[in-house]
Structure 1
Amino acid sequence: MKRRLFLHALFLLFLFIIPYTKSFAIENKIGFSAGVLTGVPIYNSKTIIEADNSILRPNKIVFGSDFYINLIIVKEATFFFGGDFFSDLLWDSKKHSNHFHFSFPLGIKIYPNIGGFNVGISYVFGFRTDSIKTSIGEKNVEITSRSPWGNGFRFSAEYDFSHRSKSKYYPSLGIAWNRMPRGDNSFDNLIIFYLNSNF
């Protein structure tokens, strides 16, 4: 309940700040960023851990993408909203354990006057889908499932090369930690490394 109230309060803040921002119509106060990401997923779901461990010589790929809308109120603070897609693929010739994470962060980045360095905190809601092919006895079994929608949080540290520069098109490089509840007292911790283009 508290998390929902926080989300609603942050959304209302967006709505009230936009019309009253000085020079909003004069200067470019809205920016966009999009890019690619990779990282390290850490699960505490027994089903996923057992499925991953059952693949003895796995191939593994972790990749994804993101897109954000940025509301630049002042040079020291940026509100943002967007979406992340994070895929974790693990397989061999007979089995696979694939997981797809969909997240929608809403938060703020603070620039502590160290060039383009910023730290961010956001409220995140999202879910995970799983596609697992494993063996039970001598039979191969395929399992597909989706976690409930969860409300988590995200911390990030980033360097935005376009901040206070002559061009807004320079990229951003960052690291983030997403902690997402997935139901049944299980959590996913996603350590994410990303490279974004700004436009």
Structure 2
Amino acid sequence: MRKIIFIGAGGYAKSAIDALSLYNHHIEGFIDDFKEGEHLGYKILGNCIEDIFEPHKYEYFISIGDNKKRKSWHDILKNKGLELINIIDRTAIVSNNVEVGTGCFIGKMAIVNSDVKIGDNCVINTKALVEHGCRIGNHVNISTNSVLNGDVRVKDGAFVGSCSVVNGQLLIGERAMVGSGAVVIRDVEDDSTVVGVPARRIEERRYKNV
């Protein structure tokens, strides 16, 4: 049985553990920057990798929703040569013609259709729809009930909010944020936030280290 440690003892961990096959995995516990004791009945093992004895004995999953923090942990694990797993809920529908990187989550009743490529460390959340031909970069969050129509490109670190719709063949730039419920009808620039119907830019996001 494979032993797994979760990074991040928050709400996202609830969905990830619920989707994990406990027949194939034993959950050793959590690493969390701020918490002690237990979470969801599993022990908080420490707040960094250095707190884990023989860390290469385990597999890891980063259960942190924030793209920037998730990327930071991803880089730490990769630099140490530690193995990340994917968690795909048994109710998700994923085409056989889909490429998925490492450390990704695909949630309940999500649909990922043919010829989609998903990078590393991504979240495709509950009931999200990713249509044919989409290209999703690394450290991306496609939130609950959102829709990417055909051939959309989503670049690294972008966040697509719940119940939003992105029209086909558009580009969502690096670290861009699409607000919940937005309807995107034109490309979204890097580091920008768009909201509304149709979606319009409201601010430029300054951090560029995701």
With structure 2 as the length reference, what TM-score do the two structures score?
Answer: 0.22
Q: Select the structure of larger CA radius of gyration.
A: 1
**Higher RCO (C-alpha 8 Å, min separation 6):** 1
Structure showing the higher strand proportion among its residues: 1
